[in-house]
Amino acid sequence: MNKVELPEGATLPVRHPDAPAPGEELPVHYSQCFGCGDNESGLHMRVRAGEGLTLHGRFLVTDHHQGAPGLAHGGLLACAFDEMLGMLGMLTHIPAVTGRLETDFRRPVPVDSTLHIRAQVDGVLGRKIYTSAVGRLNAEDGPVALTAQGLFIEVGLEHFSKHGRGLEGRDFEVNP
Ligand X SMILES: CCCCCCCCCC(=O)SCCNC(=O)CCNC(=O)[C@H](O)C(C)(C)COP(=O)(O)OP(=O)(O)OC[C@H]1O[C@@H](n2cnc3c(N)ncnc32)[C@H](O)[C@@H]1OP(=O)(O)O
Nearest CB to ligand X, comparing residues 57 and 176: 176
Nearest CB to ligand X, comparing residues 105 and 172: 172
Interface positions with ligand X (CB under 6 A): 29, 82-83, 86-87, 89-90, 97-100, 126-128, 151, 153, 155, 176
Q: Which residues contact 22 (CB under 8 A, 6 or more apart)?
A: 49, 50, 51
Q: Which of 18, 63, 82, 171 is catalytic?
A: 82
Closest CB 29 distance from ligand X, rounded Å: 4
- Assess whether 104 carries a catalytic annotation: no
Closest CB 82 distance from ligand X, rounded Å: 5
Burial (CB < 10 A; 0-12, 13-18, 19+), residue 43, is buried
Nearest CB to ligand X, comparing residues 111 and 153: 153
Q: Which residue is nearest to ligand X (CB)?
A: 86
DSSP string, 64-111: GGBSSTTBB-HHHHHHHHHHHHHHTHHHH---EEEEEEEEEE-S--BT
Q: How many residues does the chain have?
A: 176
Could you give the residue numbers annotated as active site?
A: 82
